[in-house]
Chains A and B, each alone.
Chain A
């Protein structure tokens, strides 16, 4: 485990860095961006811009996520989690939803964290509770919703309240249907265990950092695929046609949820988009848009698929859709 901090690799690594920087500096002028861009259709460049912007927005949060995941992996022992976790399923779900609500995260940063927690023995229903409320309920989302809806607390309050109830219901149902941890790769005995606290802090910190790097590369490719598909849909699929065909036959809430799914917006940035549809759809559908988006979207589905079994991800998708639809349509008007 001791990191290979030896002197001799230093010379090679140093030359390696120099080589990289040199390559970057020298090759940059050769790629005349304007020349190259003229040979591409404008829509492809727009697609690329949206694709990269989603990545640039998401990567800082994913980095924070993998650091926390690394921390959990190395510093938290299974026995501790067993001790903290309430035995009763309902209290476990409620506790995890509350912790998620206090934990400011975005939907891409939270996936690696939940993966580590579940690998460490957190029951799947508690993991899902944390996954759902983490991005949905936090001060930044609350504030941006408040501002986007003309400084009115009603929509922001409903988003938090109804969202919380929906998250608890979904997690409880997941607890009913799924018993095991649902991870794609079952954690190996050695993998799941933290480095014992006997070992020096520096070594454990090292383990945490290297683990974070591996986690980033594990997650990264799914983030890239998800971001690309979301950008593709934004560029080539007309929201207008989706909304117009939907308006007649399909309930408005489902149309808005579909929009939230394909747009894959970050939860602190979707409020203005939601607000811009205010005069087209009833408030309950806007609420469905605001609750559904942070819980699941196209980009997020791909990240979940990297962690969990496909049947589990699909059932979660269906459950979220059904529960959010019913909660937003009936709950606020009771």
Chain B
């Protein structure tokens, strides 16, 4: 029996990966990286890694001078190159264990070109976008419609995390319809260079799967004390929806009537409603 040092390294790396994924779940930081509705995928990965660690244990010792087909990758003699490539793999583990996740902020919003959303040319939204009332047959449609109906009826529109994305879409598609209604929402302050001093964008990041695909969604807000609000500050506001024209397109604008500063919420991101509904329905049909 021969002891195989690089197999030990692989076992260690697999263990570390398994612990890293498990740790994300036990500490709850997973929601800082991926949409919680997809978290089960990484939990599966944690268990798969654990299973692979178990398999790898039996390879720490191998019979002498016996080249089996399953070890063809390791039995070559580029050991130094191999260790360099292993250290590349451990790099994310080191930064993952040592550095805390950070919530995306206004700097990233600016890099992602969020400001462009306001600097549009005269290309109005394609008409098909507004026709949300097309015939739909999905199972979760009833619940989707129910939430949208609540939006149509209520005088005060409360943008809670669960309905942020669909309501945002509806209000942007037809701002005239919601003119004059009261809006309650939380978000962080994003001041884009092209904005006037009394303007800001009250924003949230929409995460489809992981924070790399975050896109900024937010309402233009007007408020004479906007200078006092700093970039990245989290605030809770109440205001009145109005319509303004921006380079030929009508967009909704919130005239803030009251506001207060809050700490960054536990769930800083919002997620597309359809993913949530698809998964809850999926789970319900099993239980």
List chain A positions with a Cβ less than 8 A from chain B: 1, 3-6, 9, 12-13, 16-17, 20-21, 24, 28, 31, 33-34, 36-37, 40, 42-43, 45-46, 48-57, 59-60, 63, 144, 147-152, 154, 188, 190-191, 193, 195, 206-207, 209-214, 216-218, 220-221, 224-225, 227-228, 230-231, 234-240, 242-244, 263-266, 268-273, 276, 278-280, 283
Contacts and interface: CB of A to CB of B under 8 A. Distances in A.
Contacts of A228: 91
Given A56-B24, A152-B128, A218-B73, A263 B212 contact: yes
A148 B217 CA distance: 13
Closest 8 CB pairs of A and B: A269-B209, A239-B113, A57-B210, A53-B33, A240-B113, A53-B210, A33-B100, A269-B208
B284 to A, nearest CB: 18
The secondary structure that dominates the A interface is helix
Nearest to B17: A59
B162 interface: no
B99 A40 contact: yes
Contact of A213 (B52, B96, B112): B52
A43 B99 CA distance: 13
Contacts of B123: 279-280
Interface in B83-103: 85-86, 88-89, 91-92, 95-102
B110 A4 contact: no
A207 B62 contact: no
Contact of B58 (A9, A217, A243, A270): A9
A221 B89 contact: yes
A213 B10 contact: yes
B158 interface: no
Interface in B189-214: 206, 208-213
Interface string B150-188: 000000000000000000010001000000000000000
8 contacts: A9-B60, A42-B107, A63-B45, A213-B14, A213-B55, A238-B111, A239-B112, A273-B213
Interface of B: 1, 10-17, 19, 21, 24, 30, 32-34, 38, 41-42, 44-45, 48-49, 52-53, 55-63, 68-74, 85-86, 88-89, 91-92, 95-102, 104-105, 107-108, 110-113, 115-117, 120-121, 123-126, 128-132, 134, 136, 169, 173, 206, 208-213, 215, 249, 272, 274
A235 B111 CA distance: 7
Contacts of A214: 70-74
A54 B57 CA distance: 29
Contact of A221 (B61, B72, B85, B125): B85
B134 A34 contact: no
A272 B213 contact: yes
B211 to A, nearest CB: 4
A272 B92 contact: no
Contact of B213 (A56, A270, A279): A270
Given A63-B48, A214-B70, A278-B129, A43 B10 contact: no
A231 B112 CA distance: 12
B70 A243 contact: no
Nearest to B13: A217
Nearest to B6: A217
Contacts of A3: 58-59
A217 B10 contact: yes
A278 B100 CA distance: 35
A211 B56 CA distance: 11
A162 B89 CA distance: 37
B61 A49 contact: no
B210 A269 contact: yes
Given A49-B211, A272-B272, A43 B130 contact: no
Contacts of A17: 15, 53
B99 A283 contact: no
Contacts of B117: 276, 279
A36 B115 CA distance: 32
A306 to B, nearest CB: 10
Contact of A147 (B11, B61, B86, B272): B272
A153 to B, nearest CB: 9
B111 A283 contact: no
B108 A235 contact: yes
